[in-house]
């Protein structure tokens, strides 16, 4: 969606991320699914690369670049794959093309070592690299990173679902390169990774940015709406500032010929409906009250009996309101 709307309302956040990256920190962007972590990550990389010299993949440094760069050259390796194997193969490929990993280290024929990296045809060497295990790949990558003079930033789209074994490989990478990644959930098993990272939460979009996004999307998609402002405010509220939710809702509306007021009122989105689950609390409270009541009867304690009775009454009336309000948080 940001292709049509641009990245809305994230300037300060992107700046903050770029600052942390410049300090050399490993960065972890957290937030629920669809909140815009990947989009923010990409914007931060764009900003960082706009200022700093870098040679992603084939792009060789142009000869007229001033040699008096105060910082070491930065190579950005951007990994989109969510599977570990795919990530490591992509990493090997990009490091190969940047001339950081030698072809022979990836078990490619010696003659490739003589070629300038830009002339290595990935299609021809792909199968050999794909056959290597993650262990082999890290075995080639780690020493190469360690020997490399410049800085390397690995941007990994998502690490939510790494396994503890893959965590070990990444921990080794962390010592040789800078890493930025996203996670929609910080799994306990991966805490050694999380400890090493500066966490930056990606918050929901502000209502203003959300409204801008809804307006831009409905214009772009040509959605016909009976009452646009009602529509905008409704989508903003239902989405809870989640751009993916806005995207989904506008896409649904685009299927209608015209969106009328009744349809607007009936629109719901999961992301905007945060269920607060009171059930366990209510069960424990209920059991305690009943228990107290029996205790009071058993001990012949009238005061306790009255107290339990009052608590039961309060519980029953409160429950009515709690369950009624428990459905939606906004
Ligand atoms: N600030 C924004 N302005 C406009 N569009 C946005 C913005 N942030 C995200 N989007 C769009 O919303 C969608 C979801 O964003 P994104 O994929 O970055 O979320 P995510 O947090 O990475 O989700 P996941 O956890 O599923 O990986 C994408 O289509 C993206 O282009
Ligand atoms: Mg993502």
Cβ 56 vs Cβ 75: under 8 Å: yes
Residues with CB under 6 A from ligand 1: 1-2, 5, 7-10, 31, 33-39, 158, 182, 184, 205, 213, 243-244, 247
Write out the H or E segment, with its range, that includes residue 184.
none
Tell me which residue has its CA closest to atom 29 in ligand 1.
Answer: 1
pLDDT for res 320: 67
Count other C-beta atoms under 10 Å from residue 190's C-beta. Answer: 21
- Residue 19 CA, chain-centre distance (Å), reads 19
Please report which ligand is nearest the Cα atom of 215.
1
- Pick from 213, 244, 245 the residue to mutate for probing ligand 1's pocket: most ligand atoms within 8 Å of its CB: 244
In angstroms, what is the C-alpha Rg of the chain? 27
Phi, psi torsion values for 45, nearest 5 degrees: -65, -45
DSSP 267-281: ---GGG------HHH
Count other C-beta atoms under 10 Å from residue 96's C-beta. Answer: 25
d(CA 100, CA 171): 19
Instruction: Tell me the domain boundaries of the chain.
Output: 2-61+71-201, 207-272, 279-326
Phi, psi torsion values for 70, nearest 5 degrees: -70, -30
Number of the ligand 1 atom closest to the C-alpha atom of 7: 3
pLDDT in tens, the chain (330 residues): 556 667 999 999 999 999 999 999 999 999 999 999 999 999 999 999 985 544 444 344 444 444 444 567 899 999 998 888 899 999 999 999 999 999 999 999 999 999 999 899 999 999 999 999 999 999 999 999 999 999 999 999 999 989 888 999 999 999 999 999 999 999 999 999 999 999 999 999 999 999 999 999 999 999 999 999 999 999 999 999 999 999 999 999 999 889 988 888 888 765 445 445 566 778 888 899 999 999 999 999 999 999 999 999 988 887 766 655 444 443
Cβ 234 vs Cβ 264: under 8 Å: yes
pLDDT for res 124: 92
The model carries a pTM of 0.76
Count other C-beta atoms under 10 Å from residue 128's C-beta. Answer: 14
Sign of the torsion formed by the C-alpha atoms of 232, 216, 267 and 30: negative
- Pick from 243, 248, 251, 269 the residue to mutate for probing ligand 1's pocket: most ligand atoms within 8 Å of its CB: 243
Number of the ligand 1 atom closest to the C-alpha atom of 205: 1
CATH class for the region spanning 2-61+71-201: alpha beta
d(CA 3, CA 86): 25
């Amino acid at each position: 969606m940001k292709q049509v709307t641009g990245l809305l309302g994230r300037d300060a956040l992107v700046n903050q991320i770029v600052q942390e990256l410049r300090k050399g920190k490993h960065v972890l962007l957290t937030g629920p699914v669809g909140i815009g972590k990947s989009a923010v990550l990409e914007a931060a990389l764009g900003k960082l690369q706009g200022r700093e010299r870098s040679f992603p993949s084939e792009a060789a440094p142009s000869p007229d670049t001033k040699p008096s760069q105060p910082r070491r050259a930065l190579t950005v390796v951007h990994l989109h794959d969510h599977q570990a194997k795919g990530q490591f193969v992509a990493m090997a490929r990009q490091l190969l093309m940047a001339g950081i990993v030698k072809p022979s280290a990836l078990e490619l024929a010696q003659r490739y070592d003589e070629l300038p990296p830009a002339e290595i045809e990935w299609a021809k060497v792909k199968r050999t690299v794909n056959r290597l295990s993650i262990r082999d790949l890290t075995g080639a990558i780690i020493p190469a990173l360690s020997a490399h003079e410049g800085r390397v930033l690995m941007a990994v789209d998502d690490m939510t679902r790494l396994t503890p074994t893959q965590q070990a490989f990444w921990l080794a990478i962390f010592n040789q390169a800078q890493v930025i990644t996203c996670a929609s959930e910080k799994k306990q098993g991966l805490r050694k990774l999380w400890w090493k990272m500066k966490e930056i939460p990606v918050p929901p979009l502000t209502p203003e940015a959300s409204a801008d996004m809804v307006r831009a999307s409905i214009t772009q998609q040509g959605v016909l709406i009976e009452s646009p402002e009602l529509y905008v405010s409704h989508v903003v509220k239902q989405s809870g500032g989640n751009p993916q939710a806005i995207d989904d809702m506008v896409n649904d509306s685009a299927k209608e010929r015209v969106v009328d007021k009744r349809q607007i009122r009936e629109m719901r989105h999961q992301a905007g409906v945060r269920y607060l689950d009171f059930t366990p609390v209510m069960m424990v409270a209920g059991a305690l009250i009943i228990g107290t009541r029996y205790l009071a009867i058993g001990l012949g304690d009238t005061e306790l009996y009255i107290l339990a009775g009052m608590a039961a009454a309060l519980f029953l009336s409160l429950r009515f309101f709690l369950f009624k309000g428990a459905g939606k948080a906004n």
